[in-house]
Copies of this chain bind each other. A is one copy, B any other.
């Protein structure tokens, strides 16, 4: 792992995401890193994130996979261009589609490990497959199709 998370390279105006923005005090503040060819993030659920007592609700799993994979897409795009994430022009991705298979109930008390691997990278889209692991067991798998943040969305951004 390196010291600085993918998400910590995002400029301030793009760092408010509930899932992964370092400036969202109410959010999950997910942090993703390279671990060789895979990306990895760790997350400790809070009691409020339950589905039923003892287990994580599905929307949290989906949120973690989503933000981890769009972060991984950004990092992979820089890597593909042979650039560090602190160089311009900035690259940021949004989710075109998200798929999650819930394989086993995910315990609430344990730290979750979210791992991603890039399976396709083109200028128009990056596909990442992910898994969520708790206590050594894969509880969910996911697939995200990430696309570059549309300029139209940036223009509509409410500052």
Q: Using a CB–CB distance below 8 Å, which chain A residues touch chain B? A: 13-14, 16-19, 21, 24, 26-27, 48-55, 57-60, 62-64, 66-67, 70, 94-102, 105, 108, 149-150, 153-154, 156-159
Contact = CB atoms under 8 A, between A and B. Distances in A.
A100 B97 contact: yes
22 contacts: A13-B53, A14-B52, A16-B50, A16-B53, A17-B50, A17-B51, A18-B60, A19-B57, A19-B58, A19-B59, A26-B48, A53-B159, A55-B153, A57-B63, A57-B66, A58-B70, A58-B94, A59-B60, A60-B63, A62-B63, A95-B100, A96-B102
A63 B19 CA distance: 12
Nearest to A98: B100
Interface residues of chain A: helix, strand, loop or mixed (majority): mixed
A52 B92 CA distance: 11
Contact of A48 (B18, B48, B53, B54): B18
Nearest to A51: B17
B48 A24 contact: yes
A157 B53 contact: yes
A97 B154 CA distance: 31
Contact of A67 (B16, B18, B59): B59
Given A18-B60, A58-B66, A102-B97, A27 B52 contact: no
